Amino acid sequence: MCIKRRTGSAARRRALLLGGVGACVAGLAPVHLAEAPPGMMRSGSPGGSGDARVPPATVSLADYGGKPGAGRAVLVSAFGRAFAALTEAGGGTLLVPAGVYDFGSYADAADIILCRDLRNIAISAYGATFMVTTTARVVPNFFYFFNFHNITLAGASFIDRGFSPWFNWKGMYCVGIQADKSSSGLRIVDCRAERVVGLLASHNNAAGRKHLSDISVHGEVRHAYYGVGANFIREQVHVELVCHNVRRAFIAYSLKNAAIRVVASSTSDWPGSNGLVALVSGGASTGNVENVRVRVEVSGECIHSSYVHFYHQGSEREGHMRDIDATVNVINASSVQDLFVFDHETDGVQAKTARIWDRISLHGSVTGRFTGRVISNRSVSTSPGTVYLDRNLTEMGKMDVLGAGFRVRSP
């Protein structure tokens, strides 16, 4: 079977990511990694499995030659043999000893550790750092899970020495997922990624959106393009991210039954995008956005045109975003542009749209000087639907002339 993960929506996702870069970034300033503020606290320790519920069998990567300092071929083989042993045992835990695992250089979009049909396995990698060097404009995946059930990755750190934010798509995804049959229960716990394209990416397309569900991510991402890309996951997505200098913390097409929390900070020498968090519908046929809670807390320099982007996309007339609760709290951030943006893009932003935004509640606060807009409603909907604003947001007095569907919530 040939695994295909490049989808027809890739070009649109690139356009979405890059759309706001020019708005906030003046030039190619040097990157100072030491400026990053303190990050997340890890809840686990070496040997821990992030409270994974798996059978009791345990193997060590070292038992198969997978030790810090080993070469790429030995390390790849060690993972394969360890997973085979756990599969034969009906599942269990793979212990990865602490240390740096350098997998060398990649000039192609390789799946470095390809994991097919794994079930009931925890990877305990506290203290382990997986390193690659991407040498071309390609996006390899470090772990690539194709069809899976009940997988936990706990405590791992990732870094790509070849990554650059100034070149499009040059660096690794730490974890990639794809499925052509029902796959659920992927948990990423206490993981850190630095100088990567992203921590997690779903490579399913709209036709395969029924297969993936129940994805949970708890981690930290620094100096990266993406935090999490949860495209075309049928339901149940839970994300908690701490981000510093990340162009887009979260993006998802056709998101349903999800809770997203992002704590983000930025400096002016890092490129941004047109939305820190992007909720995207390509139309009813590819999937609406429903039942989502988003909470964003931001500080530092503004590198994003907006913090939550409600983004309809494509030429299809039908499509909706419904039952969404979004909160943006801004703490002493400079030059904020828009807290929330509502628009529909088809060869440019449309002034009017038949697409729907309905039963959406907006909350938030701004501490410090605020020179931006609370809401930008660039595409006015001609269809029934209501967006509720907390009164304190309207009292800031910084928003577009809103469509008829926007309502101020009573105190």
pLDDT digits (tens, 9 = 90+) for 40-64: 556 666 777 778 999 999 999 999 9
Q: Which residues of 315-337 are buried (b: 16+ CB within 10 A; e: fewer)?
A: ebeebbbebbbbbbbbeebeebb
Domain span holding position 223: 95-408
Give pTM, 2 decimals: 0.88
**Is 37 among the domain residues?**
no
Domain count, the chain: 1
**Is 47 among the domain residues?**
no
pLDDT in tens, 194-212: 999 999 999 998 888 899 9
What is the model's pLDDT at position 267? 92
pLDDT in tens, 330-339: 987 767 789 9
Q: Is 10 exposed, middle or buried (0-12, 13-18, 19+ CB in 10 A)?
A: middle
pLDDT in tens, 78-100: 999 999 999 999 999 999 999 99
**Is 73 among the domain residues?**
no
What are the helix (H) ranges across 285-379? none
**Is 317 among the domain residues?**
yes
pLDDT grade for 15, boundaries at 50, 70 and 90: very low
As a whole number of angstroms, the distance between CA 219 and CA 243 comes to: 9
What is the model's pLDDT at position 34? 37
- What pairs with residue 141 in β-bridges? 111, 173
As a whole number of angstroms, the distance between CA 328 and CA 277 comes to: 10
**Is 89 among the domain residues?**
no
Q: Is the pLDDT score of 322 beyond 70?
A: yes
Which whole number is the average pLDDT over 338-364?
94
What are the helix (H) ranges across 116-210? none
Sign of the alpha-carbon dihedral angle for 58, 61, 62, 63: positive
The dihedrals phi and psi of 254, each to the nearest 5 degrees, come to: 60, 45
Contact 274, 23 (CB under 8 A): yes
**Is 67 among the domain residues?**
no
What is the model's pLDDT at position 409? 73
Higher pLDDT, 372 or 130: 130
Q: Is the pLDDT score of 141 beyond 60?
A: yes
What is the model's pLDDT at position 118? 98
Q: Is the pLDDT score of 36 beyond 90?
A: no
As a whole number of angstroms, the distance between CA 402 and CA 375 comes to: 8
**Is 69 among the domain residues?**
no
What is the model's pLDDT at position 232? 93
Which residues does 307 contact at the CB level (< 8 Å), separation at least 6?
275, 276, 277, 296, 298, 328, 330, 338, 339, 340
Which residues does 111 contact at the CB level (< 8 Å), separation at least 6?
3, 140, 141, 144, 176
**Is 68 among the domain residues?**
no
Contact 103, 134 (CB under 8 A): no
